[in-house]
Amino acid sequence: DGGITQSPKYLFRKEGQNVTLSCEQNLNHDAMYWYRQDPGQGLRLIYYSQIVNDFQKGDIAEGYSVSREKKESFPLTVTSAQKNPTAFYLCASSSRDRLSTDTQYFGPGTRLTVL
């Protein structure tokens, strides 16, 4: 089955702890993304990566870090510097077609709760 997987589905963390969210895709997509979704605020871009070993900050990157060592994987670390980390985190991937248009496909998400 081709798709995007995220783990864990639910995650609880104490304040002051770093936590890493997993995102894996087997769609052979070049680009991968991390979004945060809060009630009433839609999706906000945290980081994106166009290609392996390269990534850029999105609109709300502070307190987060990523790596892109493999094409299939784009883990997100929520650090203790993130002031309000409780949210629903969505990973996505995409591949530009020959017309240079891009469609994102999303994973099932991880709900992070900081206690």
> Using CB under 8 A as the criterion, which residues of the chain lie in contact with another protein when the complex forms?
31, 33, 35, 40-45, 48, 50, 56, 58-59, 88, 90, 94, 101-109
User: How far is CA 25 from each of CA 16, 59, 79, 88, rounded to the nearest angstrom?
Assistant: 30, 23, 23, 19
Min dist CB 17 to another protein, Å, is 24
Among 47, 49, 67, which Cα is nearest to 57's? 47
Q: How far is the CB of 36 from another protein (least distance, A)?
A: 11
**CA atoms in the 13 A half-sphere facing the CB of 107:** 31
Closest contact distance (angstroms) between CB of 16 and another protein is 28
Instruction: Return d(Cα 101, Cα 6) in angstroms, integer.
Output: 25
